[in-house]
Amino acid sequence: MVELAFSILASDFAHLADEVATAERGGGTIVHVDVMDGHFVPNITFGPPMVKALRPVTKLPLDCHLMIEDPDAFIPAFAEAGATMISVQQEACRHLHRTLQQIELHGCLPGVVINPATPVDMLIEVLPMVHYVLVMSVNPGFGGQKFLPLALEKIAYLAELRHEMGLNFRIEVDGGVAHDTVAQVVEAGADMLVAGSAIFSPGKTEQNAVEFLKLARAAEAARNEQEV
């Protein structure tokens, strides 16, 4: 079943707990937390204290997307703060295999992320050890950017590799996923849909999530029919 991972980057930080509850009422099942350090990406957001503050306000899994240099130094702090899933950028990891092991050792589900310029083939060796692969469909750093269609082929290729290699990692997509792009993303094979600006909007968040998921589920049904 495809899931909506709503990105709190687009939410009203002054009312974060309410924002999360509203997106959850609309059917969102994963809280996507965009961690930016001003080095790996040209923007700064939040760190482990934000994850710690979120942990008691929702039962949903907290999916921490680390867009930071030296993620190894921060994995213990995110795990301790209550992260459920931690993903690291392939481009930021000198020893990706070790970093993924560390995430697992700290009791979190490991994920790996690739930027638009990074080919899927960079991940072949680590695919057996990840819970999910996150395909960026924008260059990371900001919400509200335009979806890059090159992500579609990467999603489809990952789905093919998963089948060929007999694996069951999930495929997540992030950036510009909105009501007008979600169907193609799901048809290509994505399972976890990150969306921020398409979901959060004053007074409309719940409805946005409901409509987004309706489109996603219809595309999923079409995809399943093709597979049979």
Query: Can you read off the two tokens belonging to residue 130?
Result: 């990840």
Q: In the window 200-219, what residues touch ligand DX5 (CB under 6 A)?
A: none
Determine, following the binding rule CB under 6 A, whether residue 31 of this chain makes contact with ligand DX5: no
For residue 15, which amino acid is it? H
Query: Can you read off the two tokens belonging to residue 135?
Result: 């395909």
Comparing CA positions, the residue from 19, 45, 23, 18 lying closest to residue 34 is 45
Query: Can you read off the two tokens belonging to residue 15?
Result: 């009312």
47 binds, among Zn ion, ligand DX5, none (CB under 5 to 8 A by kind): none
Determine, following the binding rule CB under 6 A, whether residue 48 of this chain makes contact with ligand DX5: no
Q: How far is the CB of 145 from ligand DX5 (least distance, A)?
A: 6
196 binds, among ligand DX5, Zn ion, none (CB under 5 to 8 A by kind): ligand DX5
CA distances, 136 to each of 73, 81, 105, 167, 214 (Å): 23, 25, 25, 21, 23
Q: Which of 34, 72, 121, 180 is catalytic?
A: 34
Determine, following the binding rule CB under 6 A, whether residue 10 of this chain makes contact with ligand DX5: yes
Give the span between the Cα atoms of 183 and 171, in whole angstroms: 15
58 binds, among Zn ion, ligand DX5, none (CB under 5 to 8 A by kind): none
Q: Which is nearer to ligand DX5, 92 or 198 (CB)?
A: 198
Q: Which of 18, 70, 174, 191 is catalytic?
A: 174
Determine, following the binding rule CB under 6 A, whether residue 19 of this chain makes contact with ligand DX5: no
Length of the chain: 228
Question: With CB under 6 A, what is the number of residues at the site for ligand DX5?
Answer: 22
In terms of phi and psi (left: phi > 0; alpha: psi -120 to 50; beta: otherwise), the region of 215 is: alpha
174 is catalytic: yes
What are the start-end ranges of the H helices in 123-175?
Answer: 150-164
Q: Which is nearer to Zn ion, 34 or 220 (CB)?
A: 34
Q: Which is nearer to Zn ion, 19 or 174 (CB)?
A: 174
For residue 224, which amino acid is it? N
Give the span between the Cα atoms of 192 and 165, in whole angstroms: 20
Per the DSSP assignment, residues forming a β-bridge with 170 are: 132
Query: Can you read off the two tokens belonging to residue 204?
Result: 């409309």
Q: In the complex, which residues of this chain contact Zn ion (CB under 5 A)? A: 34, 65, 174
Q: How far is the CB of 142 from Zn ion (least distance, A)?
A: 10
Catalytic residues: 34, 174
Using CB under 6 A as the criterion, which residues of the chain lie in contact with ligand DX5 when the complex forms? 7, 9-10, 32, 34, 65, 138, 140-145, 174-177, 194-198
